[in-house]
């Protein structure tokens, strides 16, 4: 594992005069790096400290969290179960194939039950079948996850002093909350929302423990919603990969970097700033995206190197 995660300077990202750094959380570990490691760290410690038999968690069929948890549990020898959204498992899905290979037991649940989460009888019945389970919510977000993600900003501020602006993507909120909690008063955190019509301000407010509003959720770069993309975004990812030899996933980090470029060009972020963007990983999402694209006749694929 590579900790602290490296910070890489990115040159010529924009015509505006800025200093840009990418905190490469994706390099912490090839399978359970990124924000996933930060969110899992204290949860896995709690598992080991308690009298648990297995860990149960939840995710969509292409979930980065499912992929990372399966791999980390394998690494730490923890039996684990993945409750997967959707009434059937696709036997060709690369994310699920890998999770299963790591030893995760996969259980599909209907979308309706998945939406109700712990209130669903279907889910309660699954949990009842696994006594003494450590329950890790969807996306791995809970108080221990936020304790872990706070270390991203603390580490960053030790590595690069005087960062003015930090950017992070958001899904369930655990990553952004920790990053905000760990930020200094004079730093501003832009949280790039990759979902449509989601009221994340309230969710984030309950997870954020500091009493200051030096953060803002930016809603303009979702590209149609969660896991949605278009040719412009895919071309942006491929160009970024070619320019910097860094992969961006199509769900989170690509939208964050696209947002940053646009916010610089449109003056929403002024030049002269020292900016850090958090590369939260999710690289397995590229394989998942390309798998889905290959089902179409004229696929627009994300290049890997």
Ligand X SMILES: Cc1ncc(COP(=O)(O)O)c(C=O)c1O
Among 5, 35, 93, 133, binds ligand X (CB under 6 A): 35
Closest approach, Cβ 258 to ligand X, in A, equals 14
Q: Which residues contact 161 (CB under 8 A, 6 or more apart)?
A: none
Q: Give yes or no for a contact between 124 and 118, defined as CB atoms under 8 angstroms apart.
A: yes
Show the site string, 219-258: x = touches ligand X by CB under 6 A, - = not: ------------------------------x--x------
Complex with ligand X: residue 113 or 278, whichever CB lies closer:
278
Q: Is 71 an interacting residue with respect to ligand X (CB under 6 A)?
A: no
| Interacting residues with ligand X between 122 and 141 (CB under 6 A) | 139, 141
Residue 19's H or E segment, with its range, is strand 19-24
Among 133, 150, 172, 229, binds ligand X (CB under 6 A): 172
Residue 262 to residues 184, 220, 266, Cα–Cα distance (Å)? 25, 10, 6
| Cα 161 from Cα 20, distance rounded (Å) | 13
Closest approach, Cβ 121 to ligand X, in A, equals 26
Complex with ligand X: residue 35 or 229, whichever CB lies closer:
35
Residue 250 to residues 40, 45, 120, Cα–Cα distance (Å)? 22, 31, 31
Residue with tokens 């040719």: 231
Among 176, 218, 246, 302, binds ligand X (CB under 6 A): 176
Among 175, 229, 241, 254, binds ligand X (CB under 6 A): 175
Closest approach, Cβ 129 to ligand X, in A, equals 26
Helix, strand, coil share of the chain (percent; to 5): 40, 15, 40
Indicate the pairing of strand 133-136 with strand 165-170. Answer: unpaired
Closest residue to ligand X, Cβ-based?
282
- Sites of contact with ligand X (CB under 6 A): 34-35, 64-65, 139, 141, 169-176, 249, 252, 280-282
């Amino acid at each position: 594992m590579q900790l602290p995660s490296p910070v890489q300077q990115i040159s010529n990202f924009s015509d505006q005069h800025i200093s840009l750094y990418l905190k490469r959380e994706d390099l912490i570990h090839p399978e359970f790096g990124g924000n996933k490691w930060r969110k899992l760290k204290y949860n896995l410690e709690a598992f080991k400290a308690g009298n648990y038999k297995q860990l149960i968690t939840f995710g969509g069929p292409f979930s980065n969290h499912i992929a990372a948890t399966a791999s980390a549990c394998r690494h730490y020898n923890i039996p684990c179960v993945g409750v997967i959204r959707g009434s059937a498992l696709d036997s060709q899905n690369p994310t699920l194939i890998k999770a299963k290979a790591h030893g995760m037991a996969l259980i599909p649940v209907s979308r309706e039950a998945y939406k109700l989460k712990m209130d669903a009888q279907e889910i309660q019945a699954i949990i009842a079948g696994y006594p003494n389970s450590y329950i890790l919510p969807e996306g791995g977000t809970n108080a221990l996850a936020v304790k872990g993600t706070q270390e991203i900003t603390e580490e960053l501020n030790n590595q690069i002093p005087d960062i003015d602006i930090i950017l992070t993507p958001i899904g369930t909120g655990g990553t952004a909350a920790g990053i905000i909690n760990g930020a200094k008063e004079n730093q501003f955190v832009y949280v790039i929302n990759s979902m449509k019509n989601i009221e994340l301000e309230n969710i984030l407010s309950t997870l954020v423990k500091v009493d200051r509003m030096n953060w803002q959720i930016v809603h303009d770069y979702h590209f149609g919603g969660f896991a949605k993309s278009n040719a412009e975004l895919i071309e942006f990812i491929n160009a970024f990969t070619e320019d910097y030899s860094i992969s961006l996933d199509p769900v989170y980090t690509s939208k964050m970097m696209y947002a940053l470029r646009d916010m610089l060009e449109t003056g929403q972020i002024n030049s002269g700033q020292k900016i850090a963007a958090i590369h939260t990983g999710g690289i397995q999402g590229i394989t998942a995206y390309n798998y889905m694209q290959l089902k179409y006749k004229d696929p627009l694929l994300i290049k890997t190197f």
